[in-house]
Amino acid sequence: MSHTMSVPKDVPAEIERFDLIFRIQHVLMFTTFLILSFTGWGLKYAHVEVSSWWIRIWGGAETAGIIHRVAGVTMLLDFIFHVGYLIYLTAQGKLKFRKETTLIPLPKDIVDVVQNFMYFLGFTRKKPQFAKFSYAQKFDYWAVFWGMFIIGFSGFALAFPILVSGLFPESTSGWIWQLLGIMHSDEALLAIVFILFWHFYNEHLKPEIFPMSWVWITGKISTAELKHRHPLEYDLHFGEGKPEKKEV
């Protein structure tokens, strides 16, 4: 790790970044995501010969279809639980809006993007100073939200078409299913490519993180790393004249 930053002695060595419940949500999310990608890929490219072989590995078309539906429903339930959990935390006062800890995109994020590109290209020596969630992480997070609405809803509709057909008036019959199919298939491809590049680089391949950020297992981040990668959040908790606060 390249961050060899030191923190004052009265600052704890590490703090909790994600509690156990968030960590379980994440594990459910990525396992179902991988299963959905693997089985869905074979269906999307059914005309390619190797797909028949690939689908046989998953137990044949019928079984792969069942696996895909079960994983999809599990992912949707995970998502719904996540939103419910956020609402619960907010209601309990455990989750407060602060610009240093929020996941909500703020104008500063756009400034950070520009500054980061300038840094990449060597126009500035100053890296943007991130809060608890950098714009890259916010992007990663909201991409899942987008995917849940677009891919999740269309997937549910395609998996349970008779049930969902009641939601749409008959006049939509001529185009709604094609639209749902396109939404599901095209956005799934986007999600896979996005995860493959964005999430894998930022959370796995980056030299300072490789082979991966362990926070998804431990839930903890060292204060040294926090100071290096999320200085604004570090300052909120441990900055001068600020006693440690519980909110994270």
Partner 1 sequence: MKKTRRLATALTAFALIALPGMTGSGTASANATSCLLCHNAMSGKATTASGAEIELRINSNLFQASVHGSMACTECHQAFTENPHTAPDQAVADDLKKLSSTIAKKAKVDPVAYSACSTCHSDVYQSVMTSVHGKNIAEKGAADGALCLDCHGGPHGIVKSTDENSPVNRKHVVATCANCHADEKLAAKYGHEANIMESYNESFHGKKYTLGHTKAPTCVNCHGYHDIKSKSDPASPVFGTINKTKTCGNCHKGANATFVGAITHKPAGPIPHYAELGLIVLTMGTIAFTIAHVLLEAYSDIRDVVFRKKEEEEETKNESYNECA
Interface with partner 1 by CB under 8 A: which residues?
A: 2, 4-5, 42-43, 46-47, 51-52, 55-56, 60-62, 64-65, 116-117, 119-122, 125-126, 128-129, 136, 158, 161-162, 165-166, 168-170, 172-179, 181-183, 186-187, 189-190, 193-194, 197-198, 201-202, 205-208, 227-228, 231-232, 234-235, 239
Residue with Cβ nearer partner 1 (90 or 172): 172
Half-sphere exposure of residue 24, counting CA atoms within 13 Å on the CB side?
9
**Rounded CA gap, 171 and 169, in Å?**
5
Residue with Cβ nearer partner 1 (109 or 187): 187
For the bound state, the minimum distance from the C-beta of residue 215 to partner 1, rounded and expressed in Å, comes to: 19
**Rounded CA gap, 224 and 227, in Å?**
5
Let me know if 162 is exposed, middle or buried by CB neighbors in 10 A (0-12, 13-18, 19+).
exposed
For the bound state, the minimum distance from the C-beta of residue 76 to partner 1, rounded and expressed in Å, comes to: 20
What three-state secondary structure class fits 222? strand
Residue with Cβ nearer partner 1 (10 or 170): 170
For the bound state, the minimum distance from the C-beta of residue 235 to partner 1, rounded and expressed in Å, comes to: 5
List C-alpha distances in Å: 150 to 154, 183, 232, 240: 6, 6, 33, 45
For the bound state, the minimum distance from the C-beta of residue 4 to partner 1, rounded and expressed in Å, comes to: 7
The residue to which tokens 């693997």 are assigned? 38
What three-state secondary structure class fits 208? coil
